Amino acid sequence: MAVIALALNHADADAILPRVNRALESENAETRRQGVIALAHTARLHRTADRRSLDLLRDFPRGNEADDDLWSFVAHRQLPWWLWRHHYADRLTCLFRNWRHG
């Protein structure tokens, strides 16, 4: 819980992200889940993520809180190709479904 509180209350993303990375690397599943949530909050509040966080997040299942908040709040040019692929595939599916039923 401490890493989530830090993400919500600390003003410096550079101080938050190393701790988020440690949570994402943890062997404990609950700590990893909290790391994902903390990364989502960091993206939303500070509009950034570091390369290490993104590399670690790649090993998590797609569609988590961090995926969505990174896509929504961080400049897309800063995001890796795998996150682009995930979001564009969802967007194309939605567009196709609307075109077909619309």
Token pair for residue 56?
Answer: 């670690």
CA atoms of 21 and 36, how far apart (whole Å): 9
Please check whether residue 71 is in contact with residue 87, taking contact to mean a CB–CB distance below 8 angstroms: yes
Largest CA distance in the chain: 48
Residuewise pLDDT in 10s, the chain (102 residues): 799 999 999 999 999 999 999 999 999 999 999 999 999 999 999 999 999 999 999 999 988 999 999 999 999 899 999 888 877 766 666 666 766 665
Please check whether residue 39 is in contact with residue 71, taking contact to mean a CB–CB distance below 8 angstroms: no
Type of residue numbered 26: S
Residue carrying the six token digits 């682009």: 84
